[in-house]
Chain A
């Protein structure tokens, strides 16, 4: 079962904030976040390795709650360049199978 992301889609105005959630029914040992622009490959954004860890990358940050098997991606003061589909991803514990979440389409309007 793949991680479920919410919301499925979100539309923002430039400067607004957004939160994208990723929930797994199975234990998460690490979570990765990616952004995919239309017609392009997914691009790695950041990794969360420990429970409760929070990382930042410009105005994009993420948190990881190991106990709740959830991760959240925070986009603050969104820019037009943030538009795309965001995926969480993780390696299934004990396997070499890499699983992506269901994806969240984000559109930032001027």
Chain B
């Protein structure tokens, strides 16, 4: 099973601040996904990223969000100006090598105060 790590595990930030969440796959992958899960609710697709480009994004993924693969291994999600409603778990996932199943990192809990 592919492994993915995420940092930080918990981020507390003030409203209006920028945050960067990081995802590091253990081995080389081309497909990356970011998801958001508000406490107790469904897992929501944010964006998919293939070969260093965004391949699909949801209506949630507005201009305050961006994704990058700055050094060919780390994969980041940036939220430019955080709002209270951005408080959630953010999961990075990679796609299985043969099919579309998702392998998740442990997540980053973002708390916006």
List residues of chain B with CB within 8 A of the CB of A27.
Answer: none
- The reply to whether B99 and A49 form a contact with Cβ atoms under 8 Å apart is yes
Is B56 on the interface with A (CB-CB < 8 A)?
A: yes
Residues of A within 8 A of B (CB): 2, 30, 32, 34, 36, 40-44, 47, 49, 87, 89-91, 95-103
Residues of B within 8 A of A (CB): 1, 31, 33, 42-45, 48, 50, 55-56, 58, 91, 96, 99-107
Cα distance A43–B103 in the bound complex, in angstroms? 7
Identify the closest chain A residue to B106 (Cβ).
A41
A96 in complex: contacting residue of B55, B105, B106, CB < 8 Å: B55
- The reply to whether B101 and A41 form a contact with Cβ atoms under 8 Å apart is no
- The reply to whether A100 and B42 form a contact with Cβ atoms under 8 Å apart is yes
Whether A40 touches B106, Cβ cut-off 8 Å, given contacts A32-B101, A47-B101, A98-B100, is: yes
